[in-house]
Structures are given as C-alpha cells and as structure tokens.
C-alpha cells in the first residue's frame, strides 16, 4: 500500500492537483490524502474550485489563513508536522510555488519523507519574487521533480540536481484545461456580461510588484482605460488588488462606480470560478496578466497573452506559445495591445507533452508502472 499526502494551498494548486489525484486514485494499492493549508480559502478562491474541478473535500484543512510570508510559512510547518507524525505517509506531493509548497516540503524533508514536486525547475531568475525562492528551495528538497518544459530540466541540472530525479511529464494544468474546456464553453459567460465573442480583453493582476506600488498600479490601470477605448476589458479583481483601488480614486477619477458603469471600458468583477474564467478566456480577443499559469493556458488556447512582467519562469510560452512580455509601463502596454488589435500577434504552437496526459505519466512514475 502506497500512502501519499497531497498538499494544496491556493487556487493554482487546485488546478494542478485535481488530475494527479484522480490519476493516482485509479491505481490499485494507492491511497491519497488531500490537505488544504488554508493559505487561500474562501468560496470564490477555493471552495468553488473544489466543486468545479471535481476534487473531493479535503481530508484536513490547516486553516492557516493570510499572513506575512514568514508567519504563513511557519504556521503551515507548525500545523503540518503533527499530521506527518500521525499519518506517516510514503510520499508528500506538492504543487507550484506558493508558501504552502515550500513549507510542506521542508516539513517532510526534515522527517525523511520523500517529496514530489509537480511543476519543478521553473525559474524566472528574479529573486525579488517570493515564488522564485519557494521554487528553488522546494526543488532541492525533492526526490521526484516533475517538469513541464525542457528549460526546467536544464535549470535543475545546472543547480546540481541529479538527473535521475528529473522527469519530463508535461503540464498538468493543461490536463485540467482540456478536460473542462467544452463544459466551460457551454457557459457562454461573455454573453452573460453582454459581450460579443472575441470582442473584449481579459485582465488579471495580483503580483506585489504590480499592485502594491500606487504609481505602478496607476500606470497599468491608466493604460487599461486607454485600451478600453478600443474594446472593453473584463477585470476579475483579486482581493489583493481590490484593496488598493480606493487609494487611487484621486489619480484615476474613472474608478468611481458611476464612471465605470457609464463608460463600460473596464468591467470589474469579483474573482471567478474556474469554469467561468476559462469560458471568458476562451472567447477573449487577448489576455493581459501577471499570472504564470495563464501564460500556459493562453498558449494552449492560442490566444495572445500580454504578460505584465519583465521576465517569466515559463519561457516556452514565449518561445513557442502566444505569450509576449510587455512589462508594466503604460507606453509598452498600449503598443503591445495595438499590435494585437492590428492582427500582428504571432501564432503559437502547443509545446511537447502538453497533451492532457501529464497526470497519468506522474501516477505511473510514482507507482513504478512506467518509466520517467
């Protein structure tokens, strides 16, 4: 009997965990315990995703909640260690690059429990990003490193990771997208917002480098208001970002509710469920984002993606996909959007092994029933 504890803590983790847990539970002799750290936990940010992705209710919720990086990481470790002592799993599996990922990995490694990292080896080479530090530390604690693209293997080898620990399996987020794409299309969520297919852009913003500095966020939103003259922008607003908006009302008078409603250039919504967001993304003219996962999803959907960052840990989305790094300056954002609207965006192609079977490959490797 193989006992695996799978740890999630934020929405992107759920999209990655769902197909892997499903694939493992189809294998005889394998039990999977699902633990949610509570790093992000409200209905829109987590519970709705559990429902839509068909994930079972977590076996345990650590109820950590929001806090500073140090406090959140420490609290996860304090609450997770007794669980490991009690359950004594054969393996701990972590996903992505959030604080839950590194905290669970540290706990397990200190107790000599093997750790598997799904989405290993990605590097932005920007150590001012907390996620970058989480990725590096996690990868050096793991026995199984499951990679999504060739650059990840090169990064891990360069850091001295033994080659036998590295397994190129493809992208589990693509597994989830392909499984749910048809269902999402039937929602016609753009139509519910009164928007025509391919007649709007979609915006997400949450990274501290973009939303915590008032000057930077003002420049970004000012650019969005100008782009909104050409086509409306749907903006599902992350709680971190929404908290910053009231302070910008003097700089950006259009942020006041009556102006937004009258102009309809930017349509601000609450955070959306996975299916609603996928429905919107699938029908968008282009996407503007600072999210890592959305760079991958737009590549699979062949939708132009303008990434509001100077770097990416997913270079294959630029080299082969539809992603363009545009930073967060007003002039660059406007120029990039104008290029897309003039039909000058480059065509992308789907990377190797982004075929909806990554989770099956992972399950096979972990149960010793296929080669890595």
Measured CA to CA, the distance from residue 185 to residue 265 in angstroms comes to 24
Q: Reading across the β-sheet that carries 323-325, which strands appear in turn?
A: 266-269, 233-236, 201-203, 286-289, 305-307, 323-325
58 in helix, strand or coil? Answer: coil
Tokens of 29: 């002799």
Q: Are strands 60-61 and 91-95 parallel, antiparallel or unpaired?
A: unpaired
Cβ(196)–Cβ(264) below 8 Å? no
> From residue 120, how far is each of 94, 144, 357, 362 by CA, in Å?
10, 9, 17, 12
- Catalytic-residue membership of 346: no
Tokens of 211: 């939303």
124 in helix, strand or coil? Answer: coil
Phi, psi of 104 (to 5 degrees): -65, -40
Check 117, 167, 180, 206 and give the catalytic one: 206
Measured CA to CA, the distance from residue 113 to residue 17 in angstroms comes to 19
Measured CA to CA, the distance from residue 149 to residue 151 in angstroms comes to 6
Look up tokens 């922008």; give the residue: 233
N-terminal to C-terminal alpha carbon distance within the chain: 21
- Alpha helices, H only, 140-256: 150-158, 172-185, 189-192, 208-211, 214-227, 239-242
Tokens of 268: 């601000």
30 in helix, strand or coil? Answer: strand
- How far does CA 124 lie from the centroid of its chain? 15
Q: Which residue numbers are catalytic? A: 206
């Amino acid at each position: 009997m193989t006992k695996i504890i799978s740890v999630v803590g934020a929405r992107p983790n759920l999209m990655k965990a769902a197909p892997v847990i499903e694939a493992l539970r189809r294998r005889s002799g394998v039990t999977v315990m699902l633990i949610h750290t509570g790093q992000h936990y409200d209905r829109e940010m987590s519970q709705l995703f559990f429902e839509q992705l068909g994930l079972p209710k977590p076996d345990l919720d650590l109820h950590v909640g929001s806090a500073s990086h140090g406090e959140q990481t420490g609290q996860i470790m304090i609450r997770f260690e007794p669980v490991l002592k009690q359950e004594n799993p054969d393996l701990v599996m972590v996903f992505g690059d959030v604080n839950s990922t590194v905290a669970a990995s540290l706990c397990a490694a200190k107790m000599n429990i093997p750790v598997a990292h799904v989405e290993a080896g990605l590097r932005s080479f920007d150590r001012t990003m907390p996620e970058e530090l989480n990725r590096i530390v996690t990868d050096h604690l793991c026995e199984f490193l499951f990679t999504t693209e060739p650059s990840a293997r090169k990064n891990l080898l360069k850091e001295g990771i033994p080659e036998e620990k590295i397994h190129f399996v493809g992208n589990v987020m693509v597994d989830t997208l392909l499984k749910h794409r048809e269902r999402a299309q039937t929602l016609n969520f753009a139509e519910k917002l009164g928007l025509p297919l391919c007649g709007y852009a979609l915006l997400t913003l949450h990274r501290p480098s973009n939303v915590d500095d008032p000057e930077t966020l003002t420049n970004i939103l000012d650019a969005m208001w100008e782009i909104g003259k050409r086509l409306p922008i749907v903006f599902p607003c992350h709680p971190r970002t929404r908290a910053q908006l009231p302070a910008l009302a003097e700089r950006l008078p259009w942020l006041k509710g009556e102006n937004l409603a009258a102009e309809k250039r930017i349509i601000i919504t609450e955070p959306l469920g996975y299916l609603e967001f996928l429905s919107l993304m699938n029908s968008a003219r282009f996407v503007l984002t600072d999210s890592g996962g959305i760079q991958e999803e737009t590549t699979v959907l062949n939708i132009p993606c303008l990434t509001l960052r100077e770097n990416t840990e997913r270079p294959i989305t630029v080299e082969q996909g539809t992603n363009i790094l545009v930073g967060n300056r007003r002039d660059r954002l406007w120029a990039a959007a104008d290029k897309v609207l003039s039909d000058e965006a480059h065509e992308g192609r789907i990377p190797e092994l982004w075929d909806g079977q990554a989770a099956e490959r992972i399950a096979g490797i972990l149960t010793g029933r296929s080669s890595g």
